[in-house]
Structure 1
């Protein structure tokens, strides 16, 4: 069962407070059978999200108008940006003063080892484009931190691919599909 939108902060609380992480157990040589089973369960739950709609997400030109979850890769962590779907189906006042999009947006800092569990906690309604996620490197990275950011980017990309999520690598001038 997928958590509802109001439970997202509660579902991610153990991740932010340091509970036992679920490593990328799909290919780790020292992963236990239990860890592999947990990772496979996460993948099966994420498979409930429909396949990506390429015509919808390819039309997005800026990350501010991106509606699916996206990641910003940093040196010590990954920031998961989630915009919760509007609970009011009416278009009246949508995005206006009484229903701002920014109020439904949550930015959560997670470890790369907890990325699979964090993505699994995102409600299905927060994936309007389907099972696709945009990924970008943090801006203005010091030269000394670039190798660590690149390693985190590779770990995040591997986790996303292992989960069966389409990766849309965002770059400053636009995006490229991976």
Structure 2
């Protein structure tokens, strides 16, 4: 399974008021200039620390009507500033500091030089890729895609890789020869991207729609459609859940209504789920997983957490999501299938 680079999870924007509470005194200010030389108004920016491991959300701000911006209360260190505004056609990995830009310009904040001016010259906006994914066996839509975007100009240069919910478009560097690898959880890689990858090139702000049919990698995704949140989003009690419900214990995993309530080894869960009839999946490929913190004793919790960590990638390989985490599943005797 393709995995998004680990530190991407740290790039969620932090609210501006959180910056006000920071004890640090570094300041970066400047102006953002469009390609035609005009100021970029109302554009969202991130300040990215360089040369350090990221352990907190990135500070963000917006430009004013004159294209000016200001970051305050930053820690000492090296920074670059980039646009992170998908509506305007900019993101870190398509147009910013995350690989497509090579070696971005930077400034350094120190106690001797606590303020720095940084003028941002915007590159061309990104191109947009839209995916229409379907299960080749069932013809049903697939709601999530995993994409790796590589540069064709630089051997083995990965620009970014990650999972995305559809139908949102994916921003990619524009006017560049790119190679895509496309798959989804529980499916084999797209036939047209196997090997070197699918070649694309998109002009700035242009859209490319790819119709992709994926072959299931297991019997479950071959016959069960993707999860349909509309069918279960109103459920708040485990007793009302009708898809499989998994109870993670120290000695294994119980699937409600299966195997007389006896725990299965985690590695046996995939086969057990694949053996369930179509009627066991009214919401599509989604399961409930009982909150692992519900344990009979404190001493069991480490083993329960270990089983939980083994279970999650197994579900991903099956193309099954954990869409509901009740404090308790319905007892097996109450688990009825329509």
1:71 is aligned, of 221, 227, 246, to: 246
Deviations 1:118-175 (A, max 9, x none): 11111111100011011112734311111100010111111101111111241439xx
Q: CA deviation at 1:81?
A: 1.0
Change (3 A) 1:107 1:41: farther
Does the 8 Å CA contact 1:135/1:169 hold for their aligned counterparts? yes
Structure whose alpha-carbon radius of gyration is higher: 2
Is 1:53 aligned to residue 228 of structure 2?
yes
CA distance in 1, matches of 2:262, 2:274: 13
Structure 1 residue runs of 4 or more that deviate by more than 6 Å after TM superposition:
none
2:301 is aligned, of 135, 140, 146, to: 146
Q: CA deviation at 1:108?
A: 4.7
Matches within 5 A, 1:26-175: 43-82=218-257, 107-136=261-290, 137=292, 139-172=294-327
Does the 8 Å CA contact 1:68/1:82 hold for their aligned counterparts? no
Higher RCO (C-alpha 8 Å, min separation 6) = 1
How many residues of Structure 1 are paired with residues of Structure 2 in the alignment? 113
Q: Which has the higher helix share?
A: 1
Does the 8 Å CA contact 1:73/1:135 hold for their aligned counterparts? yes
Change (3 A) 1:164 1:67: same
CA distance in 1, matches of 2:231, 2:286: 11
Gaps of 5+ in 2: 1-214, 329-338
Change (3 A) 1:122 1:42: farther
Gaps of 5+ in 1: 1-39, 84-104, 174-178
Deviations 1:15-62 (A, max 9, x none): xxxxxxxxxxxxxxxxxxxxxxxxx98724433101111111111111
3-state DSSP class of the match of 2:256? strand
Change (3 A) 1:76 1:41: farther
Residue in 2 aligned with 1:18?
none
3-state DSSP class of the match of 1:59? coil
Q: CA deviation at 1:113?
A: 1.2
